[in-house]
Structure 1
Amino acid sequence: MSTVCAIATPAAVGGISAVRISGEHAFSVAEDVFAAVYPKVKISEMSGYTAAYGKISDGGERLDDGVLLVYRAPHSYTGEDVCEIFCHGGIYVTQRVLTACLKAGAEPAAAGEFTKRALLNGKMSLTQAEAVADVISAQGKQILSCSNAQREGALFRRCEDIAAKIMEVSAQISAWIDYPDDDTPVVTEEWLCERLSEVENDFKRLLSEYDAGRLIREGISCAIVGKPNVGKSTIMNLLSGRERSIVSSVAGTTRDIVEETVNINGAVCLLSDCAGIRETDDEIEKIGVEIMLKRLENADIVLAVFDGSRELSDEDKRLIGLIEGKNVIPVVNKSDLENRLDVDFLEEKLGKAAVISAKNTNCAEIIGNAITARLNLDKFDANAGFLANERQRSCVLRAERHVGEALSAAALGVTPDAIGVELEAALDAVYELSGKRASEEVIAEVFKRFCVGK
């Protein structure tokens, strides 16, 4: 592969910038741009994991002073010889250092090319490469923890365990077909069904965890709804930690969707404070209510707010009818006042309620814990490995289908060689997930998400 280079730090003014060079001629490219002063050595003679201070130039023009780090193949991120030049963090000077490296013979790196080279050189699996992008884009504690576990191979190991079980069955089938006269154990219907059921259950567990993993990775869409003056905007402000929505005793104050991204128990949550649901002649307010109804359809979870100091009104009952059967947390507000609400009826329709007073500082914690529990995020094991995107999920769905067909065939007494064909197709899907048998098109699609420089 060619020698490539790119700016590895954000395109903004900062204290320091880095230009990364990787490939067979990384050292010679760096020597044309960087002259080591301390220690005074040739870059090509430096040991791996060492640094030098020196002068950065473009031809005869002095650009900056800086530091150079050397990594020798195969003990580098890409598995190739790598040099990283650190200069002052100005946009212009950083671009000039990059240009100097290109003049010295390096080629511009494509988006994600350094990580792609790490994949192709066997430094990481495809699922680990995808996790690198997730670490970079992480906006909350949970997704960062999960992404680091993925980067360390959590999902890859789960895939390898499942692949080993499939290969065990395939190998047993092949041995029994090819050497029937030897002491090879007979492949019985009972044995096949037992082994294949175990594999099928492994796939089902992975798929069952997908929604929780998606919410952690992409964020939780949360709609706050209720009739006017039940405390929706106050709750929005408490969860966001600032005055995001206007709070007023005048019904219909919130007419449009007010949105805010917050961090709840380590998970990113997109809150939407929706217009109060009620019959109104105000055309603008009507539009707000219509937008709220559409938002309900796409929300991952709904916080339905009710006034605990009043009996359920017709507007409350209309709201219950609209959201019944969805992922809902009924929030009973104003617990500091005498309760007149039928909480038992509410919980029968919508599930366990979070009873709060928006006047108390702990209500944000109560609601946050309720969201985490309702979405099963509190049971999610960040270190176990999970399906982080639709590509991975699609591979497991395909593998599960082939194993299911093999299981059905085994139960019907179909010959083992036909079952082996289905198992080979399942194995292909698992290996596409991990990258062992992924096509160039699949790999190219994965690296579209990456920035240049990583």
Structure 2
Amino acid sequence: MNDQNTTIAAISTAQGEGGIGVIRISGERAIEIADAVFKNINGKKLADMKGYTAAYGSIQYENEKLDEAVALVFRAPHSYTGENVVELSCHGGIYISRQVLRAVLEAGAKPAEAGEFTKRAFLNGKLDLTEAEAVMDIISAKSRSAARSALSVKDGALRRKINSVKDDLLSIAAHLSAWADYPEEDIAEVTDEMIFDSCDKAIAALSHLLDTYDIGQAVKQGIDTVIAGRPNVGKSTLMNLLSGYEKSIVTDIPGTTRDVVEDTVLVGNVLLRLSDTAGLRDTDDKVEKIGVDRAKKRLEQCGLLLAVFDNSRELDDDDMQLLETAAQVPTIAIINKTDLENQLDITVIESKVKNIITISAARGEGREAIVEAVEKIAGTDRLNPSEGILSNERQRANVRNALASVREAKAALEMGMTYDAVTVSLEDAISELLEMTGEKTGDEVIDRVFHNFCVGK
């Protein structure tokens, strides 16, 4: 771990031009170091100011005024990191922000490592590990639901769920241990019913968290989505309809799209990483054939298929081949060109695909139906962002392992094994939950969690 006795500093705003740049300083000497570079307009030292106060002045570097600035003072333990913190807000811009940081470093601060401010907040008990991870989820959120979910975890929604399970299991495990170790004491005997009840509650809560993981990932990371269909069926028009602008070239000439065109769009509460593929057909055109082959490869790997069919034409062999592929992956069948006379036998599609909608992409009609279908198939229509959801594989693994251990405890009891065997499994489950929140975990796990943070956070 890093030496928490050092005072660290970093630029906490984005590296680029902007209205404001913030240099954050944290550690025992934060206020002293800030006083060395910041000159209050009224001459008052930051060391003489209370926490949660601000001062206007300037940054002095190499005997020159570098920039005007505002200094915000936070005193331990009432700060983000739990340490003394000063935030110097100067004019935004790469040069000015870096010069202010250089002045702070030369005054005695050390450059902060990636995620070190949040890491110190965790080590100082301001956040648990799930709440610390939610900080980066808030920063990287690409939708309202993703931001709300991350903020709920940051506010402790997930921690409270885990603590509820953990505390119940701890109570039973402690009772079992005390009853076994001190039989002569007047300790109430633990009954099988009590253990079964605690195990069933834990299994239900942990199972629910695992069930919502994939839904949460759809909100947070998005779904690899392929738009596929035969040439001139309206795939590119659909791509443009979802994107909200002309991303793909649209013509009435079959084979216009010869390669995979990609975009990321928000459809309701679901982020779709869209790929508009070349029309699926046999072709002698070498360039188009490469695009078709790439399209077929994408179909095999996608998380969601938007299979497009032409309402004004009968199904052909290419359509039937697409329907066979649709049976292997989550699919929404989109019947396009409903503004034209119907020639399509929709019953064939209904026999292969459960989710079917009709649209007229050329008229811009049907996006709402697509949103509803996507949210339904992704499960986000059932997602409550305020509940607190698992945000990464580390958390998922801890919950999965804890669930397996609780089930082992219940199975041991059902088979008539001793309470010692039950206790071992319960303690394994508790250990997994303690590791998840960071109450009991090693340096390697902690370092791995903060490795992907940005510097300054």
Q: Under TM normalisation by the shorter chain, which class is it?
A: over 0.9
User: Does the CA-based 8 Å contact 2:73-2:86 persist in structure 1?
Assistant: yes
2:320 matched to which residue of 1?
317
1:411 matched to which residue of 2?
414
Of residues 361-370 and 330-339 in structure 1, the stretch that sits farther from structure 2 once superposed is: 361-370
Q: CA deviation at 1:186?
A: 3.5
CA distance in 2, matches of 1:267, 1:79: 36
1:240 matched to which residue of 2?
243
Matched ranges for 1:103-142 at <5 A: 103-142=106-145
Amino acid at match of 2:51: G
Amino acid at match of 1:26: A
Of residues 206-215 and 276-285 in structure 1, the stretch that sits farther from structure 2 once superposed is: 276-285
> TM-score scaled by structure 1?
0.96
2:51 matched to which residue of 1?
48
CA distance in 2, matches of 1:55, 1:2: 25
2:41 matched to which residue of 1?
37
CA distance in 1, matches of 2:263, 2:127: 36
2:349 matched to which residue of 1?
346
Q: CA deviation at 1:185?
A: 4.0
Q: CA deviation at 1:285?
A: 1.7
User: Does the CA-based 8 Å contact 1:223-1:274 persist in structure 2?
Assistant: yes
1:374 matched to which residue of 2?
377
User: Does the CA-based 8 Å contact 1:63-1:97 persist in structure 2?
Assistant: yes
Amino acid at match of 1:7: I
Q: CA deviation at 1:420?
A: 0.7
1:80 matched to which residue of 2?
83
SS in structure 1 at match of 2:430: helix
Q: CA deviation at 1:190?
A: 4.3
- Given candidates 173, 186, 190, the residue that maps to 2:189 is 186
Matched ranges for 1:254-293 at <5 A: 254-293=257-296
The count of aligned residue pairs is 453
When the two chains are superposed, the root-mean-square deviation of aligned CA atoms in Å is 1.5
* Structure 2: tracts of 5 or more residues without a match: none
User: Does the CA-based 8 Å contact 1:14-1:90 persist in structure 2?
Assistant: yes
Q: CA deviation at 1:195?
A: 2.5
Q: CA deviation at 1:183?
A: 5.1
Matched ranges for 1:319-334 at <5 A: 319-334=322-337
User: Does the CA-based 8 Å contact 1:55-1:66 persist in structure 2?
Assistant: yes
CA distance in 2, matches of 1:433, 1:285: 50
Q: Deviations over 1:245-300 (max 9, x none)?
A: 11122211111000011121143221110111111122222221211121122222
Matched ranges for 1:369-448 at <5 A: 369-448=372-451
SS in structure 1 at match of 2:81: coil
2:164 matched to which residue of 1?
161
1:177 matched to which residue of 2?
180
User: Does the CA-based 8 Å contact 2:270-2:378 persist in structure 1?
Assistant: no
Q: Are 2:4 and 1:11 aligned?
A: no
Q: Are 2:36 and 1:23 aligned?
A: no
User: Does the CA-based 8 Å contact 2:203-2:403 persist in structure 1?
Assistant: yes
Amino acid at match of 1:424: E
SS in structure 2 at match of 1:362: coil
SS in structure 1 at match of 2:258: coil
Of residues 124-133 and 331-340 in structure 1, the stretch that sits farther from structure 2 once superposed is: 331-340
Q: Which runs of 4+ in 1 moved over 6 A?
A: none
SS in structure 2 at match of 1:359: helix
- Given candidates 90, 93, 99, the residue that maps to 2:93 is 90
Q: CA deviation at 1:124?
A: 0.8
1:298 matched to which residue of 2?
301
